[in-house]
Amino acid sequence: MAKLKIGGRELRAVNLSTARNRDIMQLQTESGMRMKQIAEIGKTNDTFAMLVVSYLTQHNAGLFVKWDDLLDASLDELGAYVKEPGDERDEPEKAEGEEVTDPTQADSATSAPDAPSPSLPATD
């Protein structure tokens, strides 16, 4: 079960598929959009999708925020997904049998420890 952390509280994340009808109806009323339009915009605009999830999640938890207030909020105020054990949302993808390397670590086969950085001029 996905959770969203909003204002220091962890709430069960709710989307259009899992929201209560009353919350969806209120979303339509406040946004002036129909379900089809909300779903279509959410497919192509991540910020809008997060806005909808935050609105529905907060309403589901009894926090009756206004759509216009969320439109004026920062992304941080919309909330952040809480990573849970087994959640692969932020894991790098890898092919079967392939080892994922940390891109922040130098590969010893391709860079010598004392080699100058390619972005900085060599010093003598």
Query: Based on the structure, what is the number of domains in the chain?
Result: 1
Residue 28: its pLDDT value, please? 98
Instruction: Examine residue 68 and state whether it is found in any structural domain, yes or no.
Output: yes
Residue 21: its pLDDT value, please? 97
Distance (Å, rounded) from C-alpha 7 to C-alpha 78?
Answer: 9
pTM listed for this prediction: 0.69
Distance (Å, rounded) from C-alpha 109 to C-alpha 124?
Answer: 24
- Of the two residues 87 and 20, the one the predictor is more confident about is 20
Q: Which residues of 99-111 are buried (b: 16+ CB within 10 A; e: fewer)?
A: eeeeeeeeeeeee
Instruction: Encode pLDDT of 33-76 as tens digits.
Output: 999 999 999 999 999 999 999 999 999 999 999 999 999 999 99
Q: Per-residue DSSP letters for 7-66?
A: TTEEEE---TTTS-HHHHHHHHHHH---HHHHHHHHHH-HHHHHHHHHHHHHHHTT----
Instruction: Encode pLDDT of 71-124 as tens digits.
Output: 999 999 999 999 887 766 555 555 566 554 444 444 444 434 443 333 333 444
* Residues of the domain holding 28: 14-82
Instruction: Examine residue 33 and state whether it is found in any structural domain, yes or no.
Output: yes
